[in-house]
């Protein structure tokens, strides 16, 4: 008796890839499919962060959204891969949420970096203190 | 329906949706820190949903060609949004935190109407 055929992947990104394959051809589909999901997540997040800012011109809003959508398009895939490995979760399901968070942080990125630096500094200090305490 | 008709329908739908995305994100742009969360959520979600509708042949969870009904409902939404164009040159007062609702017609306000509550 032969083994049953392997189950086909049924997640949304696979389905998007299948449809784009039909529309654009197999070469483009594998790239475009996940990026549509990232684009939508990033647009939602960056619009949310734009709504938190003080009133600006249309051009300033467009620039803000363009910058953060671009950042999400560049950074989402590596972050989702890293998170997927760390959480032992299929990284393709993380693309949309990660893009939304990247866009949603928006103009607060400098504050996030400052917080991360402070956290790193405090961690290093506490490790150094523990080592110094152990040597005495 | 022929492939050309499907493409034309998708193109017209994308055009209407682009209008909705533009109006929604213009309104998002004039919002301030004190704008009520519900108004921020409405326009952010409406703009994102319109973008998803424009890209629906390749967008989860649609994966389908738009129909003429999609175009009609999106067009009505665009007309409704456009009708508030002048009111949204800056975020209207009623969208701010702590402000009253735009049409707060309460029963106790009807006393000034002949036959209303409290009228002679």
Domain annotation covers residue A6: no
* Residue A30 with chain B: CB contacts under 8 Å: none
**Token reading at B93:** 């007062």
The rounded distance, in Å, linking the Cα atoms of A96 and A88 is 17
Chain B residue with the nearest C-alpha to that of A49: B28
Domain annotation covers residue B63: yes
Asked if omega into B61 is within 30° of 0 (cis), the reply is: yes
Taking the Cβ of residue A12 and every Cβ of chain B, the question of whether any pair is shorter than 8 Å is answered with yes
Q: Which whole-number Å values give the CA distances from A114 to A49, A100, A117, A123, B90, in the listed order?
A: 18, 21, 5, 14, 33
Count of domains forming chain B: 1
Q: Residue B68 pLDDT > 80, yes or no? A: yes
Q: How far is CA B3 from the centre of its chain?
A: 31
pLDDT for residue B90:
72
Domain annotation covers residue B85: yes
Interhelix angle A58-87/B3-30, rounded to 10 degrees, is 110
* Residue B44 with chain A: CB contacts under 8 Å: 44, 47-48, 51
Q: Quick one: pLDDT band at residue A1, thresholds 50, 70, 90?
A: low
Count of domains forming chain A: 1
Domain annotation covers residue A76: yes
Range of the domain at A99: 12-107
Domain annotation covers residue B118: no
Q: Which of B7, B28, B34 to mutate to test binding with chain A, by most A CBs within 10 Å of its CB? A: B28
Instruction: Please name which of A120, A86, A82, A79 lies closest in space to residue A101, comparing C-alpha atoms.
Output: A79
ipTM of model: 0.74
Domain annotation covers residue A41: yes
Of B5-14, B39-48, B62-71, the range with the highest mean pLDDT is B39-48
Contact A52 B30 (CB under 8 A): no
- pLDDT tens sequence across B73-119: 999 999 999 988 887 777 677 777 777 665 555 555 555 555 555 55
Of A16, A32, A60, Cβ closest to residue B63 = A16
In contact, A21 and B40? CB cutoff 8 Å: no
- pLDDT tens sequence across A104-132: 998 888 999 999 999 999 999 999 888 88
Residue carrying the six token digits 């500094």:
A121
Range of the domain at B70: 3-112
Q: Phi and psi at residue B35, in whole multiples of 5°? A: -75, 140
């Amino acid at each position: 008796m032969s083994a049953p055929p392997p189950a086909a992947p049924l997640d949304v990104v696979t389905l998007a890839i299948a449809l784009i394959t039909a529309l654009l051809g197999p070469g483009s589909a594998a790239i475009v499919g996940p990026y549509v999901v990232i684009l939508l997540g990033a647009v939602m997040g960056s619009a949310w962060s734009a709504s938190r800012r003080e009133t600006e011109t249309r051009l300033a809003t467009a620039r803000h959204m363009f910058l953060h959508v671009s950042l999400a398009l560049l950074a989402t895939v590596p972050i989702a891969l890293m998170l997927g490995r760390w959480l032992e979760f299929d990284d393709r399901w993380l693309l949309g949420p990660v893009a939304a968070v990247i866009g949603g942080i928006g103009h607060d990125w400098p504050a996030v970096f400052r917080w991360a630096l402070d956290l790193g500094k405090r961690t290093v200090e506490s490790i150094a203190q523990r080592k110094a305490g152990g040597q005495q | 329906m022929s492939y050309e008709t499907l493409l034309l329908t998708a193109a017209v739908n994308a055009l209407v949706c682009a209008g909705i995305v533009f109006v929604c994100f213009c309104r998002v742009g004039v919002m301030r820190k004190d704008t009520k969360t519900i108004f921020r959520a409405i326009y952010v979600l409406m703009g994102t949903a319109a973008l998803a509708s424009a890209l629906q042949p390749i967008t989860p969870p649609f994966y389908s060609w738009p129909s003429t009904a999609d175009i009609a409902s999106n067009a009505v939404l665009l007309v409704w949004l456009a009708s508030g164009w002048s009111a949204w040159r800056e975020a209207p007062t009623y969208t701010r935190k702590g402000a009253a609702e735009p049409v707060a017609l309460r029963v106790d306000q009807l006393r000034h109407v002949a036959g209303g509550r409290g009228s002679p």
